[in-house]
Amino acid sequence: MDYLVRDRCTLDGFEPVANWFPAQANGQLDTNATNTTTDASRPGNVRHKKDAFPMDVYMVAGSQAEKRGDNRLYVMKWGDMHKTTFEDEEASDSEEEEARVKEPVIRYEAIPHRGGINRVRSMQGTPIVAAWTDEAEVAIFNVAPAINELDQPIASGKCKVQTPKKYSGCKIASFKHKQEGYALDWSSSTFGRLAAGSNDAAIYLYKSADETCSSFVKEHQVGLQGHKGSVEDLQWSPSQDHVLASCSSDRTIKLWDVRATQSKAVMSWVASDCDINVISWNSAAETRFLLASGDDKGEIRIWDLRMLQPFMNKKTAEIDPITQIHWHSDAITSIQFEPREESVLAVCSADNKMTLWDFSVEIDEAE
pLDDT on residue 257: 94
Q: What's the predicted TM-score (pTM) here?
A: 0.82
Beta bridge pairs of residue 165: none
| CA–CA dist 307, 289 (Å, integer) | 9
Do the Cβ atoms of 324 and 359 come closer than 8 Å? no
**Contact present, 20 and 7 (Cβ < 8 Å):** no
C-alpha dihedral, 284 to 60 to 241 to 340, nearest 10°: -10
Q: Backbone phi, then psi, for 14, in 5-degree steps?
A: -65, 145
Give strand ranges (E) for 180-225: 181-186, 193-198, 203-208, 216-218
Is 279:292 a contact under the CB 8 Å cutoff? yes
C-alpha dist (Å) from residue 69 to 65, 72, 142? 8, 9, 20
Domain boundaries, given as residue ranges, for the chain: 1-181, 224-367
Kindly give the pairing relationship between strand 267-270 and strand 316-317.
parallel
Walk along the chain (367 residues) and give the pLDDT tens digit of each residue.
787 755 433 333 333 333 333 332 233 333 233 333 333 333 333 444 556 788 888 999 999 999 999 999 999 999 888 887 666 555 566 656 665 667 889 999 999 999 999 999 999 778 999 999 999 999 999 999 999 999 988 776 554 455 556 788 899 999 999 999 999 999 988 999 999 999 999 999 999 999 889 999 999 888 999 999 999 999 999 999 999 999 999 999 999 999 987 789 999 999 999 999 999 999 998 899 999 999 999 999 999 999 999 998 888 999 999 999 999 999 999 999 998 889 999 999 999 999 999 998 766 555 5
Q: Which amino acid is at 78?
A: W
The CA distances from residue 88 to 10, 78, 93, 221, in Å, are: 36, 21, 11, 57
Is there a contact between 113 and 139 (Cβ–Cβ < 8 Å)?
yes
pLDDT score, position 16: 37
Helices (H), 142-231: 144-150
Query: Cβ of 19: how many Cβ atoms within 10 Å?
Result: 13
Q: What are the CB-based long-range contacts (under 8 Å, 24+) for 153-158?
A: 154/105, 154/107
Residue 137's identity, in one-letter code, is E
CATH of 224-367, one of 2.60.40.1930, 2.130.10.10, 3.40.630.10, 2.60.120.560: 2.130.10.10
DSSP H helices, 224-318, are: none
Is the alpha carbon torsion for 22, 26, 27, 29 positive or negative?
negative
d(CA 219, CA 206): 6
> What CA–CA distance (Å, rounded) separates 119 from 59?
13
